[in-house]
Each structure stands twice: as structure tokens, then as C-alpha cells.
Amino acid sequence: METLQNILTHAHSGLRYLLLILLLVSIYTSLTKRSSDNFSSSDLKTYMFTMSFTHLQFLIGMALFFITGRYKISGEVMKDSIARFYAVEHTTLMILAVILITVGYSRCKKAQTVSAKHKAISIFFGIALVLILAGIPWPFRGLGAEWF
């Protein structure tokens, strides 16, 4: 269980960078193509990859949450600022971000015009990016996590 937890923590930690890069590429694509008449199948693939990696990160996060068993909300956890960060802040911000990315992708697929498709990505992925940046336990926040 210890090794599985180590593997999952490293995967979860490293995947943040892939997810951040995919989000930036998606947002850049959506902003630059919004005023053009251009929505290619590779744009849709980029947006879909971004959503899929978000879902993968979500699943690994959920697994860690239950495997470590350290973050079940209790009086004890609420008193410990690091445990509270993972149990409440990290989980809430990231779940909201996952929902926004999923809704954004679905709106993009359903939208009737090229500009509405890209706009859905700019707005939903953009807000999700802000939430994810705020929810990551960056080393300078003193939450016991490293850069990788």
C-alpha cells in the first residue's frame, strides 16, 4: 500500500505540469482562433486531451484521498493546517475545476458557431486554470509538498 501510495503521489505531482501545459495550450488556441472561422478537428482533440488528463488527475487524487486515509474531515484534521488544506481547500478547488473543464468541453461541442466553441473553452478552462493554480500545494506555500 505504501509503494502504491508513493507511485500515485509522484504521478499526481508530476501530472500537474502536463495538465497546466495542456490548459495553457487550449486557452491560447481558443483565444487566438476565436475571431477566425477556424475550428479544426485538432482543436477539438486538444480540448478533449485536456479534459481527459483533468479526469485522470481527479481519479488519482480521489485514490490518494482514500488510500492515505489522512484527510477525512474531523476535528483533528480541521486543527492541522496542512491536513485541512488537502481535505478542504485542495479537494474543493480541484473538484470545481474538474466540473468547469467538463462543462466547458461539453458546451464547446454543442455550440453552433466557431466563435461560441472557442469562447466556451476560453471562459471555462480559464477560470479552471485560476482555481488549479490556487489549489496546488506549491513548495513556497509551506504545505510540505515539493516541485515534483
Q: Which spans of this chain sit near ligand HEM (rule: CB under 6 A)?
A: 9, 12-13, 16, 19, 54, 57-58, 61-62, 64-65, 68, 71, 86, 90-91, 94-95, 97-98, 132, 136-137, 145-146
Q: Please identify, using beta-carbon distances, which residue of 92 and 106 lies nearer to ligand HEM.
A: 92
Question: Minimum distance from CB of 64 to ligand HEM (Å)?
Answer: 4
Give 90 or 117: the residue with its C-beta nearer to ligand HEM: 90
Q: Which is nearer to ligand HEM, 33 or 90 (CB)?
A: 90
Minimum CB separation of residue 81 from ligand HEM in Å reads 14
| Residue 40: φ, ψ to 5° | -95, 170
Radius of gyration of the chain, Cα coordinates, nearest whole angstrom: 17
Q: Which is nearer to ligand HEM, 42 or 66 (CB)?
A: 66
Q: How far apart are CA 103 and CA 148, in angstroms?
A: 29
Q: What is the DSSP string of 85-124?
A: IIIIIIHHHHHHHHHHHHHHHHHHHH-SSHHHHHHHHHHH
Catalogue the long-range contacts made by 41-46 (C-beta closer than 8 Å, 24 or more residues apart). 43/118, 44/108, 44/109, 46/22
Q: How far is the CB of 36 from ligand HEM (least distance, A)?
A: 30
Burial of 27 (C-beta count, 10 Å sphere; 0-12/13-18/19+): buried
State the nearest-atom distance from the C-beta of 100 to ligand HEM, in Å. Answer: 11
- By beta-carbon proximity to ligand HEM, the closer residue of 32 and 76 is 76
